[in-house]
Structure 1
Amino acid sequence: MKKHLLALALVVLAMASAVAQRAITGKVTDQNGEVLIGASILAKGSTSGTVTDVDGTYSLSVPAGISTVVVSYTGFKTRELELGTSNVIDVSLDEALEELSEVVVTGLGIKKEKKALGYAVTTLGSAQIELKPEADIGRILRGKVPGVDINATSGLAGSGTNIVIRGYKSISGTNQPLFVVDGVPFNSETNSDRGFDTGGATASSRFLDLDPNNIAEVSVLKGLSATVLYGEAGRNGVILVTTKTGGGAPKNKKMEITLDQSFHFNEIASNPEFQNAYGNGFQNLASAAFSNWGAPFDPIYYGRNGLRDDGTIAHPYDRASAIPGFSTTWNEAFPEFKGVRYPYIAYEAPTGFFKRGQSKLTSLNVASNLGKGTSLSAAYSYLADEGFVPNNNLDKHNFSLGLNTKLANGLTLRSTFNFITSDRNSPPSGISFNSGPTGSSLFSELFYTPRSIDVLNLPFEDPINKASVYYRGDNGIQNPFWTLKNSNDNEVVRRFFGTINLGYDITDWLRIGYRLGLDTYGQTQRYAINKNGRQIPDGLLTTSNRLNYITDQLLSVSFNKDLGSNFSIDGLVGFNLRRDTRQSTFTTSTQQFVLGLLTHQNFINHNNSSSRSEENQLGALATFSLSYKDYLYLNMQARNDWTSTLEKKPLGCVSICEFVLHRFRSAAWYHQRRRCQLPETAFGLRYLGWLSQPIQYPQHFVN
């Protein structure tokens, strides 16, 4: 039993990366020996990375062939270190004060000098994002941003990614940060909720829809100070994405055309370390049956412990009994195995089940300056990603268009439009039995196979009834090859999102702006399994159709003015209106008529359900900054939200305030958070005290 539990636990390692790895550890400090918490350590040329813990220590698995690690921390010079023979690498970083004067993108797309901020912002350019062997931006950021924990739910193509900024903040709710693309909140959730289960195949995250090769810059905002202007939606942090089509064409070039092609291979990282001492059987007796452990493989046991003198046992398929669920006997279905002896040896590990995957990415970017303040940009990319597991693939097309122009008399227009299609296929791939509604999982079925069973060369289906057959004929374990042939999870997404920005310069220091953003997508998910399997003998078909529609509007007035030679002020006041509409339909069918025909009309029983929700939110927000000689800064931010998911009395709103006073030094700034009160929620509770994180709106009041 212990060996089986160990095999299941190691399955996660089998999907972590594509190559063998070397483990290194160490500590990161500054020049004074003080530990640096959240420093980033990245294996150069790979996606393998980590951050230091509260003691400044780290542990990193470096893929084979990688000889350099990159260590970075905000406000310090980045170091590249060549790996030697030692696996313990301590690093000391020097301060780089000049880096703090760079301009970064903050909340609502406001650009400020980093030294004027009282919070942490990490910015990545396109060179750190493009042409990577990952389909989604979440995995590309892994190991590049201090304080951000990014984990893939599996190694399969198109699977989901979990992003957590500065630790978990909710036990039952989401901990994913808010994505904002070209100024508009972007729906990045994983749609496997509301009763629809993916059958053990992990659902994709919707930031998979972003095209990494069309991203000009990514800024990660951490903590309440950085995300106040986004209200409750930014409680888990905010990731700002500026696309190339949204940023406009390069000002110093009339036209620029970029064509990129990349090709990557991926393989399973490792298999569980199987034992080769004992085979299948019952309490030290060799047998094709299974209960706990069989005889050792040592030849000294030949002629006893259930073994013949030649070290063989009865063939697993040599049985006079009927195949479960059918009148056909094993000997009738497989007459070729009747009376055949089966060598009782440790067979080859089932690595032959997997294949070498490959990923092909083609991207084209065109940007042109048309003159008179007008620029046009367009981008297209195609990704074909085949995983290392058979029948796992992702096809994705991204189309983007951007237009920036000066209309007349200080009026400007910026707009972006994006269309995405994606098609993902995956077999059941949970890491244990009872994954999903069928309880089937390729990995558990495969790695749970005893060493004395040659799973790669045994028939997987009854030639008469096409039923699953396996060495445990009476125990409900499905043959992984039958699962691969007869079950599938398919997800098709069609998505459009875009933004229109109008701006008017009233004076050289005062500007009014209006932004309209739209994000809508339809998602069809289908999980199917034929009848005659072991977990659900009658078959199952589940389909889900979802339509998400989000509109986001912002009306703002911004100012930026020097008050003499010593003081300067800047700020923004605005109103934000957001509407989020969701519609879903679900159909589950059971008891299949004809094997192989997976349509709802081919099933006897049907269960239909649907849901619709609408949430409206109005927000009032303001930010103000006062600077004295570019040395002393006073920053204030506030937002108040009125939402349809809170009771109208007493206030029906959530307030978030932030007050920051700091001076520009290499380190040393302090916060003073203003005490705010939240209204009573539906539970009759009142949130008092120092506000460090906003609450999540109760979803049962969505109307």
Structure 2
Amino acid sequence: MRAFLFLFCTMVFSLTPKNAFSQNVKINIVEDKVLTVDEVFDLIMRQTEYVFIYKAGMFKDFPRIKLESGTIRANKLLEKSLANNRLKITISNDNIVFIKEMPEKLQQKISGVVTDSDNLPLPGVTVLIEGTSRGTLTDFDGNYAILAREGETLIFTYVGQNTEKRIVGSNTVIHVKMTDDTEELEEVVLTGQGISKKQKAIGYAVTTVKSALIEDRTEGDLARVLSGKVAGLNVTNSTGFSGSGTNIVIRGLTSFTGSNQALFVVDGVPFRNDITQASGGFYNNNQSTNRAFDIDPNDIAEVQVLKGLAAATLYGAEGSNGVILITTKSGSGIPGATRSSVSVSQSTFINAIATKPDYQNKYGQGSDGKYANTLGSWGASYDKDGPLGWGVDPNIDENGNYPHPFSSSTDENVLNAFSNLQGARLKYQPQNSFDEFFKPGIVKSTSISANGNSADGSSSFSTSIGYLDDDSFIPGNSVKRTNISVGGRSKIADKLTVSASMRYSNTNLKTPRNAFDFDGGDDRGGIYPLVLIAPRSLDITNLPYKNPIDNSSVYYRTSNDFNNPKWLAENLKYNQITDRYFWTAELNYALNKKNKYKVENWARCLLYQ
């Protein structure tokens, strides 16, 4: 009876955890601790006059609360303990806090139409209930329907539109008008022939690589710079030589007999990236550079890789393997801040061979456990003792020396030119010819650029000069490249804009023969395989390589039937000089905000020597 009278005479106020207590009520926490909800209530009751009444076990499944030492307002502590739960909190004028669970509200069907700023229906808008995984999409006419409870929040999201939120109330019909997201609308890609579209609105995959990932890299070849930066882009080097050709394949091979190379488009000018292949005995399997090498990576503003077959529609059969769109700094025509600037970039890198063979150091030149002036390394052991040791080899003297290769030559020209070496002997020991021959090279890249804009931003210009000096780790292999580019853009009338760019590159590639064959004459072997298979005990770097009488090649072989790799590097080199010119001019007239009319002209010229 007393409990009934107490409740009957008490005024009760409905509150939330955020405003249950007076703002002046504070709780002191002596040390960091983790408490249950029940323990939090005990803490509050010990330091205040408040009493909590609730059903036993109500909070057994609630998460523990982490508290830090210090002072916290009681309202804040209660809100932290009871957050994200449907509870009804009431407090009497006698500071008694009653807590009970609220019955869960029934879901109701919420429907409506989603439109854009022009009141056109938006299909495919995502409608999601905040804090849950429940959601739906609008249909072709922008209609949606979803089950939600009163008090829940609906989130509407769509590409190119600002996110909208609506709280569910008693009204079961909620129409939403979305507004354009101007920042996201600026994210466009150049799909071909200068046509720009929103990146998420096109029907094929596009990957964009910004200039920060391209500039000042160790590689002077743009194709190799892109390696590993674009999913599905496979870049394969024909050789490890500086300036050697690279194959660029997007999403695998499409032809077993034809070209699989992607089409390059630079500032709207398309050109093929096929490797220039010469013919003849000297050139067999010696691929030269490809034309993407003519592009200076330091002059690139952006690269976009179009991977879908539909992306190549504007370029016909040439673009069937995918398209790599390159916008240069001089051809971008994008106005910036009202200022002029000049930048100078100088980079120096070490160019070293990546991998080398794992050579054995047990047996030297010869065969069948005996020294012989042959190609293999199956001769006597480098150890003196033992059944295969050099101590029992009659061709090696007691000091561990073997006959100089030229003293056993059957070539009269070699015997006559090196009569002083007849009877000479060399130390029978493992040599390091591979490392001594392929010493690290130096790559130096210099870039000077200038750009500026008019005071009103209606005109802009950009120009750059680049120079690449790549001395390879392979003797006789080098690349010198000069790039000059200039471009500008000007708004000559309210809706009329003119832009133009010109680009010139000169590439001078020198490379010794790389392939190996047995054609005879001057085609006797390539530089890399000759070093690779040289006998382990032969020091080819200190061996004479040139006949002092006629300047012909001399090598260790008895018949002198292979070229000396040092002689190859000095005398038998392929030299390719390429001059490339191309320029563009564009007249752009804006009919209105959404439609533009453009007249474009471009030309290209490629000269070989």
* TM-score category (smaller protein): 0.5 to 0.7
Indicate the residue corresponding to 1:254 in structure 2. Answer: 339
Indicate the residue corresponding to 1:520 in structure 2. Answer: 605
1:178, CA displacement in angstroms? 0.5
| Inter-partner Cα distance in structure 2 for 1:522 and 1:253 | 39
1:243, CA displacement in angstroms? 0.8
Indicate the residue corresponding to 1:357 in structure 2. Answer: 441
Q: Higher strand fraction: Structure 1 or Structure 2?
A: 1
| Inter-partner Cα distance in structure 2 for 1:403 and 1:115 | 29
**Conserved? CA contact 2:234–2:250, under 8 Å:** yes
Indicate the residue corresponding to 2:470 in structure 1. Answer: 385
Indicate the residue corresponding to 1:165 in structure 2. Answer: 250
**Conserved? CA contact 2:345–2:448, under 8 Å:** yes
- Which 10-residue stretch deviates more, 349-358 or 482-491? 349-358
Indicate the residue corresponding to 1:207 in structure 2. Answer: 292
1:499, CA displacement in angstroms? 0.7
1:434, CA displacement in angstroms? 6.6
Deviation string 1:115-174 (CA, Å, 9 cap, x unpaired) is 212221000111111111111211110100000101222232221111110001111211
| Inter-partner Cα distance in structure 2 for 1:100 and 1:304 | 83
SS at match of 2:193: helix
**Conserved? CA contact 1:317–1:337, under 8 Å:** yes
| Inter-partner Cα distance in structure 1 for 2:505 and 2:281 | 23
1:502, CA displacement in angstroms? 1.3
Indicate the residue corresponding to 1:229 in structure 2. Answer: 314
Indicate the residue corresponding to 1:549 in structure 2. Answer: none
| Inter-partner Cα distance in structure 1 for 2:317 and 2:587 | 26
Deviation string 1:570-589 (CA, Å, 9 cap, x unpaired) is xxxxxxxxxxxxxxxxxxxx
Query: How many pairs does the alignment contain?
Result: 423
| Inter-partner Cα distance in structure 2 for 1:259 and 1:124 | 22
- Tell me whether 1:134 sits opposite 2:219 in the alignment: yes
**TM-score scaled by structure 2?**
0.65
Q: Higher helix fraction: Structure 1 or Structure 2?
A: 2
| Letter of the 1:397 counterpart | T
| Inter-partner Cα distance in structure 1 for 2:318 and 2:187 | 27
- Which 10-residue stretch deviates more, 343-352 or 115-124? 343-352
Indicate the residue corresponding to 1:318 in structure 2. Answer: 407
Indicate the residue corresponding to 1:417 in structure 2. Answer: 502
| Letter of the 2:478 counterpart | N
SS at match of 2:538: coil
1:414, CA displacement in angstroms? 1.3
- Tell me whether 1:108 sits opposite 2:193 in the alignment: yes
| Inter-partner Cα distance in structure 1 for 2:321 and 2:414 | 58
Indicate the residue corresponding to 2:392 in structure 1. Answer: 304
- Which 10-residue stretch deviates more, 266-275 or 340-349? 340-349
Deviation string 1:539-577 (CA, Å, 9 cap, x unpaired) is xxxxxxxxxxxxxxxxxxxxxxxxxxxxxxxxxxxxxxx
| Inter-partner Cα distance in structure 2 for 1:212 and 1:150 | 16
1:329, CA displacement in angstroms? 5.8
- Tell me whether 1:156 sits opposite 2:245 in the alignment: no
SS at match of 1:219: strand
**Conserved? CA contact 2:338–2:455, under 8 Å:** no
1:339, CA displacement in angstroms? 2.3
| Inter-partner Cα distance in structure 1 for 2:520 and 2:333 | 46
Task: Decide whether aligned partners of structure 1 residues 197 and 312 sit closer, same or farther in structure 2, where only a CA change above 3 A counts.
Answer: closer
Indicate the residue corresponding to 1:216 in structure 2. Answer: 301
Among 414, 420, 425, which residue is 1:336 paired with?
420
**Conserved? CA contact 1:248–1:367, under 8 Å:** no
| Inter-partner Cα distance in structure 1 for 2:239 and 2:520 | 14
SS at match of 2:454: strand
- Tell me whether 1:468 sits opposite 2:553 in the alignment: yes
Task: Decide whether aligned partners of structure 1 residues 433 and 444 sit closer, same or farther in structure 2, where only a CA change above 3 A counts.
Answer: farther
Deviation string 1:478-506 (CA, Å, 9 cap, x unpaired) is 11112122211111111110111112233
| Inter-partner Cα distance in structure 2 for 1:288 and 1:432 | 21
**TM-score scaled by structure 1?**
0.56
| Inter-partner Cα distance in structure 2 for 1:392 and 1:214 | 25
| Inter-partner Cα distance in structure 1 for 2:520 and 2:450 | 45
| Letter of the 1:310 counterpart | N
**Conserved? CA contact 2:545–2:564, under 8 Å:** yes
| Inter-partner Cα distance in structure 1 for 2:186 and 2:340 | 31
Where in structure 2 are there 5+ consecutive unaligned residues? 1-158, 160-182
| Letter of the 2:548 counterpart | P
Indicate the residue corresponding to 2:359 in structure 1. Answer: 274
Q: Which has the larger radius of gyration?
A: 2
| Letter of the 1:318 counterpart | S
Indicate the residue corresponding to 1:348 in structure 2. Answer: 432
| Letter of the 2:422 counterpart | K
1:265, CA displacement in angstroms? 1.4
| Letter of the 2:441 counterpart | G
Aligned pairs for 1:369-518 (under 5 A) are 369-371=453-455, 373-408=458-493, 410-430=495-515, 438-474=523-559, 476-518=561-603
Task: Decide whether aligned partners of structure 1 residues 201 and 466 sit closer, same or farther in structure 2, where only a CA change above 3 A counts.
Answer: same
Task: Decide whether aligned partners of structure 1 residues 293 and 311 sit closer, same or farther in structure 2, where only a CA change above 3 A counts.
Answer: same
1:431, CA displacement in angstroms? 6.7
1:196, CA displacement in angstroms? 8.9
| Letter of the 2:435 counterpart | T
Indicate the residue corresponding to 1:125 in structure 2. Answer: 210
SS at match of 1:127: helix
Among 441, 452, 459, which residue is 1:368 paired with?
452
RMSD over aligned Cα atoms:
2.7
Deviation string 1:366-396 (CA, Å, 9 cap, x unpaired) is 1122356222221111111111122222111
- Tell me whether 1:144 sits opposite 2:233 in the alignment: no
| Inter-partner Cα distance in structure 1 for 2:597 and 2:279 | 41
| Letter of the 1:315 counterpart | H
1:418, CA displacement in angstroms? 0.6
Deviation string 1:642-690 (CA, Å, 9 cap, x unpaired) is xxxxxxxxxxxxxxxxxxxxxxxxxxxxxxxxxxxxxxxxxxxxxxxxx
| Letter of the 2:554 counterpart | V
Task: Decide whether aligned partners of structure 1 residues 436 and 116 sit closer, same or farther in structure 2, where only a CA change above 3 A counts.
Answer: farther
| Inter-partner Cα distance in structure 2 for 1:114 and 1:195 | 47
Deviation string 1:597-636 (CA, Å, 9 cap, x unpaired) is xxxxxxxxxxxxxxxxxxxxxxxxxxxxxxxxxxxxxxxx
Aligned pairs for 1:82-93 (under 5 A) are none
